[in-house]
Every structure is written in structure tokens, then in C-alpha cells.
């Protein structure tokens, strides 16, 4: 508790620099990463992160100092050139984008390692600590770094706000953007520049190796929680900021722990939790939805079967034994009993000593499932010209997902038919 209070009081200047710097880096990178993710260019961040190293080294060789502004300018130049080169290779050759990314990434990073090795053996005392761009060292951030990072982060956020509509259209419908006269190429260059800025700012905290995670992971986590781009941007920024603060706190309480890797580890944990527990798109939600759909299909199949048994003698409310049900439809006995019990609780069937019988509500629901099945069979035979003996299996699936609106449209399109392709009455 003492360490917690000491950290969040922000009395220590070093704590302030590291925390604010980490938050700015993580949140601004996350916002830009959303557009990169939506354009399905997640690997671009990794390519840029590895391509900035030669720029950092060249800037140091030319200037002879470790001024963060000069180093970041050099990183920006080579990072930007790497993206331009990827686009050029992809558009002017038969090489696909993933291959071009791999080529550019490896070549630029290899040149960067050679330059860094040369600097380390040059005897220049000023080169000490230059290798932090490889693995990051957020704990070494000082006030001068914070000013540069803050300016770049504000620039990224302001540009994103000003060009929000254009970038949104670029991500979701490039063809429409071109058709209405948007300068798509210029917008792509703008997004490229923003991506490079985000990576260049972040490498000093987490390094070139982990920067791709900072760019993409918060965006991927936010994508699981919402379908709206504005909300996704805000969530990604919050996730990035939270991981920045948490990483700095862990590094403070355990000094041997590096800040940058902990930021990445925490944002990865948030992403895993999002992948698992997001309400609509998470693994758990999908698993529950599949289970619910499976139960619903079982229930509707049972009600349909009761109705079809009643059609034989136009007696829909007579008792049906379990043997009658299992003989007509291949359903495991345990599943059938579970389904019948649930339908009884819902009021669709009644339990009698000698069997099960439909209620009025069950007869209505069973009739609708049968109607949808036969309507879809008729639609397939009339509009897709399928043979009548080839439509049953497809109707078995579709009958469970047809909405009332689509049901009405089917009735209108088929002119309120009386018989299905097998000359059976449509209820």
C-alpha cells in the first residue's frame, strides 16, 4: 500500500516522466493502430518498427549526439521510406504485400544492426545507451523526451480528429471514397505518416522488437467490444493508457522489471480477456450463442415433429410417446428428454402419463417452423431451379433463422402458396 500511494502521488519527478510518457506513447499508438488494423495491415507496424533502427543510427552518426528530436527525425525518415518501398514493391511487381514486408523489414533491420555495431566499436562515448532503441527503456525517460513525445502524441490525436471521416471511409470503403473524389492516395500517405510517427514515438519505451504489439494489440482488444469506430478509438486509447500506467507501476514496485515489456505484457493480458469475455464477439459469448442456437434448433425440431405427427390425422393435441418421437427423428434419447422438459417449462407441451402433447402455443410455434421449412423448399425450387429432392437439407437449416420480416417477404414473392414442392399443404 505504501508503494501504491508513493507511486500514484506522483511526487517523484522520475515517476511523472515515466508514467506520463508511457501513457502518451501507448494511447497515441493505439489510436493510430486502429486504422492500421481495420485496413488489414497489422504487419506494417512491425516492418516500420524494425526499419527505424538505421535511421536512429544514421542520425547519431551525422549529429554525434543523442538528442531525442534528431534521433526521432532519423527514425521517421527511414520508417517512412520503408512503407513507401513496401507499397512500391507491391504495386510494381508480382510480390505480395506480406512478402514485401518481410523483405523490407529484414533488410532495414540488418542495416540497422550493422550501423549500431559499428557505432558501438567506434569508441564514441556518447553512444552509451543507444541500444535502448532495440529493446526499449521507458524508465530512462526524462523531461526533454516527454516534451517531444507529448508534441507528437498531440499531433497524432489532432490529425486523427481532423481527418476522422476521411480515414474512416478509407478503412471501410476505398472504392466509394475514390468515386466521390476523395484524394485516396494522399489519405493513404497521411495514414502511413501517422503510423510511422506512432512507431517512432513508441520505440524508446518498448523498443523495435515489441513496438508492433503496442500498435496493434490495444486496437485488436477494443475491436472485440464495439462495432463503432469512434468507440473503438476511445477504448483503444484507454486500454493503451491503462497498460502504460500499469507497466510503469510494476517497474516501480519491482525495479528489476523493465517498463516496456511489462506494458506489452499487460496490454496482451487485456487483449486475451477481451478475446475471451467480450459480450458479443468473445469466445465465451460465441460458445454460449452456439449452445443457445443448438438448444433452439432442438426445441423447434421437436415442435415441428409434433405438428407433422398431428398432420397425419389432423389431430395436433394427442399424446405422443417418446418412441414415436425417436422413430420419426434421429435424436439422442437424452437430448430429446432434455428438450421435452424445457418445452414443458416454457408451456409449449404438456406431460401426460402416457406421453407428451402440444399445447395451443406449441401448436402455433410448430406450425410456423413447418411453414418456414416448406416455403423455403418452394423458394429454392422456383427461383434457384433446384430439384425438389435436393432442397430438404437446406430448408432444415434455414427454417431456424428466418425472421418474421423475411417470412412475410417469402409469402409475397411466392404469392401466398398453398402447396410445397412435394405437394404437401403449407400451413
Q: Are residues 295 and 361 in the same domain?
A: yes
Of 223, 251, 275, the position where a domain reaches its end is 275
Percent of the chain with pLDDT over 70: 93
For residue range 342-364, list pLDDT tens digits in order.
Answer: 999 999 999 988 889 999 999 99
* Counted domains in the chain: 2
Any domain includes 195: yes
Q: Find the mean pLDDT for residues 361-377.
A: 93
Residue 4 lies in a domain: no
Task: Provide the pLDDT for residue 178.
Answer: 86
Instruction: Note whether 153 and 78 are same-domain residues.
Output: yes
Dihedral angle sign, alpha carbons of residues 311, 317, 320, 326: positive
Same domain assignment for residues 301 and 167: no
Domain-ending residue, one of 217, 248, 275: 275
427 part of a folded domain: no
Do residues 26 and 101 share a domain? Answer: yes
Average pLDDT over residues 261-268: 87
Residue 130 has pLDDT above 70, yes or no: no
Check residue 43 and give its pLDDT: 80
Residues 290, 196 within the same domain: no
As a whole number, mean pLDDT of residues 148-167 equals 86
Q: What pLDDT, on a 0 to 100 scale, did the predictor assign at position 136?
A: 65
Average pLDDT of every residue of the chain: 85
**Residue 181 domain boundaries:** 12-275
Same domain for 308 and 255:
no
Q: What is the mean pLDDT of residues 147-156?
A: 80
Helices (H), 321-418: 322-328, 333-346, 360-383, 392-398, 404-413
Within this chain, do residues 265 and 297 fall inside the same structural domain, yes or no?
Answer: no
One domain for residues 268 and 218: yes
Mean pLDDT, to the nearest integer, of 182-194? 86
Examine residue 333 and state whether it is found in any structural domain, yes or no: yes
Q: How far is CA 268 from CA 54, 235, 244, in A?
A: 28, 15, 12
pLDDT of residue 142: 65
Instruction: Report the CATH number that the domain containing residue 326 is assigned in CATH.
Output: 1.10.10.10
SS3 346: helix
Q: CATH number of the domain that 85 lies in? A: 1.10.3470.10
Q: Which long-range contacts (CB under 8 A, 24 or more apart) does 350-358 make?
A: 352/319, 354/319, 354/321, 355/319, 355/320, 355/321, 355/322, 355/324, 356/306, 356/319, 356/320, 356/321, 356/322, 356/325, 357/317, 357/318, 357/319, 357/320, 358/303, 358/306, 358/307, 358/310, 358/316, 358/317
- pLDDT bracket for residue 135 (50, 70, 90): low
Q: Backbone dihedral region of 182: left (phi > 0), alpha (psi from -120 to 50 degrees) or beta?
A: beta
Report the pLDDT value the prediction gives residue 141, as an integer from 0 to 100.
65
Residue 305 is assigned to a structural domain of this protein: yes
Share of the chain above pLDDT 90, in %: 30
Q: Which of 201-215, 225-239, 309-323 has the lowest mean pLDDT?
A: 201-215
Residues 261 and 362 in one domain: no
pLDDT score at 346: 92
Average pLDDT over residues 34-44: 85
Q: Output the CA angle 25-69-100, nearest 5 degrees.
A: 65
Both 141 and 221 in one domain: the answer is yes
Amino acid at each position: 500500500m505504501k508503494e501504491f500511494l508513493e507511486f500514484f502521488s506522483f511526487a517523484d519527478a522520475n515517476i511523472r516522466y515515466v508514467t506520463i510518457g508511457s501513457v502518451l506513447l501507448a494511447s497515441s499508438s493505439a489510436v493510430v493502430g486502429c486504422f492500421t488494423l481495420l485496413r488489414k495491415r497489422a504487419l506494417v507496424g512491425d516492418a516500420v518498427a524494425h526499419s527505424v533502427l538505421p535511421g536512429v543510427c544514421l542520425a547519431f552518426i551525422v549529429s554525434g549526439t543523442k538528442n531525442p528530436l534528431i534521433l526521432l527525425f532519423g527514425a521517421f525518415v527511414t520508417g517512412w521510406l520503408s512503407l513507401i518501398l513496401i507499397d512500391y514493391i507491391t504495386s510494381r511487381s508480382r510480390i505480395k504485400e506480406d512478402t514485401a514486408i518481410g523483405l523490407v523489414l529484414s533488410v532495414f533491420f540488418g542495416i540497422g544492426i550493422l550501423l549500431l555495431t559499428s557505432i558501438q566499436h567506434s569508441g564514441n562515448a556518447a553512444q552509451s545507451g543507444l541500444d535502448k532503441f532495440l529493446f526499449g527503456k521507458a524508465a530512462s525517460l526524462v523531461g526533454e523526451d516527454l516534451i517531444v513525445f507529448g508534441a507528437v502524441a498531440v499531433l497524432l490525436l489532432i490529425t486523427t480528429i481532423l481527418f476522422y471521416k476521411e480515414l474512416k471511409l478509407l478503412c471501410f470503403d476505398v472504392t466509394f471514397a475514390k468515386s466521390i473524389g476523395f484524394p485516396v492516395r494522399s489519405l493513404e500517405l497521411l495514414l502511413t505518416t501517422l503510423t510511422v510517427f506512432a512507431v517512432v514515438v513508441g520505440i524508446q519505451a518498448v523498443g523495435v522488437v515489441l513496438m508492433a504489439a503496442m500498435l496493434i494489440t490495444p486496437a485488436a482488444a477494443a475491436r472485440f467490444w464495439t462495432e463503432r469506430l469512434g468507440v473503438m478509438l476511445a477504448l483503444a486509447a484507454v486500454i493503451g493508457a491503462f497498460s502504460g500506467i500499469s507497466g510503469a507501476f510494476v517497474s516501480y514496485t519491482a525495479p528489476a522489471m523493465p517498463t516496456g515489456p511489462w506494458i506489452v505484457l499487460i496490454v496482451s493480458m487485456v487483449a486475451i480477456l477481451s478475446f475471451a469475455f467480450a459480450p458479443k464477439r468473445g469466445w465465451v459469448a460465441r460458445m454460449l450463442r452456439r449452445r443457445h442456437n443448438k438448444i433452439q434448433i432442438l426445441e423447434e425440431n421437436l415442435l415441428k415433429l409434433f405438428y407433422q405427427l398431428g398432420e397425419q390425422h389432423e389431430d395436433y393435441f394427442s399424446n405422443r410417446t417418446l418412441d414415436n418421437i425417436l422413430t420419426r427423428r434421429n435424436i439422442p434419447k437424452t437430448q430429446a428428454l432434455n428438450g421435452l422438459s424445457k418445452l414443458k417449462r416454457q408451456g409449449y407441451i404438456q406431460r401426460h402419463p402416457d406421453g407428451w402433447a402440444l399445447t395451443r402455443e406449441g401448436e402455433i410455434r410448430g406450425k410456423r417452423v413447418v411453414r418456414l421449412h416448406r416455403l423455403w423448399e418452394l423458394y429454392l425450387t422456383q427461383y434457384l431451379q433446384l430439384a425438389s429432392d435436393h432442397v430438404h437439407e437446406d430448408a432444415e437449416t434455414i427454417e431456424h433463422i428466418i425472421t418474421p420480416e423475411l417470412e412475410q417477404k417469402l409469402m409475397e414473392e411466392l404469392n401466398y402458396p398453398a402447396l410445397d414442392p412435394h405437394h404437401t399443404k403449407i400451413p
